[in-house]
Chain A
């Protein structure tokens, strides 16, 4: 009887966690999509920091090439 009680309590906890997990990922999916759409409207890159780093590295590599030419 005790074991049954414990296991039903466990089931309730697991059910609650499953629900929390579903809620969380549903919210994440909706907000990620919403922000992606907003970025598109404003013509902004999906990952602004990645874009900046790309620009910085390409700038550095062109500098390097110029030095070679000189």
Chain B
């Protein structure tokens, strides 16, 4: 698993994202740059210019036509992926910490920061997936987070729910149509912020990362905690792999929070866990600082990590990765193969 090192950013990475085909990787950073890279060789395709502050978040629509970004310059912007053209800018009173398209790309949510005189909100914008269309200025919906600000949020399957992770460690489920709060459940340790929320491919379940040093797999429908992955360091990001039933966690203590040098050792690694068995199966080293963001290629070929050190690393999986199976997984695979053979024979 030889990594490809992408050096194009000058400051800490904040979020990275593959497109649906897994051939492009988008990255944003505190250096106010958006970069797009070819995932297979790490060649930089281009950059998107315009933001006037750190960029916190990015998302690609399902057809890889439009890119959305959210920034400390209090704007959400839409970009034409192919040309780099700025299509639309929405202004907000505070920084935008998270953006995410719904499964059909018709809606975009944005999480806005809490600041003196402004509560944190989740806004919903109607999107036309057409680079020549006029995008609406109006917000389709605004959810105000009265208790604890949202740090991350996303759309469930069918855009039925908006799920948000909060600063106080809780998770909320909102009605995706009218924004009503349906549930709020403490999931992570009290007042340990949720730092990431990423979906399974069908958006029926998601994974969280938290400063409480754990990551959890949760159902969108009932907010039931299915799995817990314990780590030994505060987590910034977590992602679910395709093809193999793994999850990848990234984190690490920021240098300014580290009191002893020994505590620094071996924390800047991507950690692989078995999604179903919850056991840790391996670590990948490389970054010189905490991993701020990890992403899994939707086609299962690679994963990438973005660090506080300003680098993005893409790792393509090798044969050993795909071949590795637990005894009971192989048993199940064999059983399925046998059933399939019998079916072909009887057919």
The reply to whether chain A is a binding partner of chain B is yes
A binding-site residues for B, Cβ under 8 Å: 14, 17-18, 20-21, 24-25, 27, 31-32, 35, 38-39, 42, 44, 48-49, 52-53, 56
Point out the residue from A17, A25, A32 that lies within 8 Å of B202, measured CB to CB: A32
User: Are B331's CB and A53's CB within 8 A?
Assistant: no
In this complex, how many residues of chain B approach chain A with their Cβ under 8 Å: the count is: 26
Which label, helix, strand, loop or mixed, suits the secondary structure of the B interface? loop
Point out the residue from A18, A44, A52 that lies within 8 Å of B158, measured CB to CB: A44
Which residue on A lies nearest to B204, using beta carbons? A31
A-B contact pairs, 12 of them (CB 8 A): A14-B328, A21-B332, A24-B245, A32-B204, A35-B158, A35-B204, A39-B158, A49-B62, A49-B103, A49-B105, A52-B63, A52-B129
User: Are A49's CB and B63's CB within 8 A?
Assistant: yes
User: Are B276's CB and A56's CB within 8 A?
Assistant: no
User: Are A35's CB and B20's CB within 8 A?
Assistant: no
Interface assignment of B244: CB less than 8 Å from any CB of chain A:
no
Interface residues as binary, B141-172 with A (CB distance below 8 Å gives 1, 0 otherwise): 00000000000000001101000000000000
B binding-site residues for A, Cβ under 8 Å: 20, 62-63, 65, 103-105, 129, 157-158, 160, 202, 204-205, 219, 221, 226, 245, 276-277, 326-329, 331-332
How far is B220's CA from A35's CA once the two chains are assembled, in angstroms?
A: 12
How far is B159's CA from A38's CA once the two chains are assembled, in angstroms?
A: 12
How far is B125's CA from A25's CA once the two chains are assembled, in angstroms?
A: 36
User: Are A48's CB and B328's CB within 8 A?
Assistant: no
Which residue on A lies nearest to B21, using beta carbons? A53
Q: B50 to nearest A CB, angstroms?
A: 25
Q: A27 to nearest B CB, angstroms?
A: 8
- With A35-B158, A39-B158, A49-B20 as known contacts, state yes or no: A56 contacts B63, CB within 8 Å: yes
How far is B63's CA from A15's CA once the two chains are assembled, in angstroms?
A: 43
User: Are A52's CB and B105's CB within 8 A?
Assistant: yes
User: Are A17's CB and B63's CB within 8 A?
Assistant: no
Which residue on A lies nearest to B157, using beta carbons? A35
How far is B276's CA from A17's CA once the two chains are assembled, in angstroms?
A: 8
User: Are B104's CB and A18's CB within 8 A?
Assistant: no
Point out the residue from B105, B219, B331 that lies within 8 Å of A18, measured CB to CB: B331
Point out the residue from A17, A32, A38, A44 that lies within 8 Å of B328, measured CB to CB: A17
User: Are A21's CB and B104's CB within 8 A?
Assistant: no
Which residue on B lies nearest to A39, using beta carbons? B158
Point out the residue from A20, A39, A48 that lies within 8 Å of B62, measured CB to CB: A48
Point out the residue from A14, A24, A38, A48 that lies within 8 Å of B276, measured CB to CB: A24
User: Are A21's CB and B219's CB within 8 A?
Assistant: no
Q: Which of the listed residues A21, A27, A42 has the most CB atoms from chain B within 10 Å of its own CB?
A: A21
How far is B276's CA from A20's CA once the two chains are assembled, in angstroms?
A: 7
- With A17-B277, A52-B105 as known contacts, state yes or no: A35 contacts B327, CB within 8 Å: no
User: Are A21's CB and B329's CB within 8 A?
Assistant: yes
User: Are B219's CB and A31's CB within 8 A?
Assistant: yes
Residues from chain A with a CB closer than 8 A to the CB of B327 are 14, 17
Residues from chain A with a CB closer than 8 A to the CB of B158 are 35, 38-39, 42, 44
Q: B10 to nearest A CB, angstroms?
A: 34
How far is B333's CA from A18's CA once the two chains are assembled, in angstroms?
A: 12
Residues from chain B with a CB closer than 8 A to the CB of A14 are 327-328
User: Are B157's CB and A53's CB within 8 A?
Assistant: no
* Closest 10 pairs (CB-CB, A-B): A49-B62, A48-B104, A17-B328, A18-B328, A24-B276, A31-B204, A56-B63, A52-B63, A48-B103, A53-B63
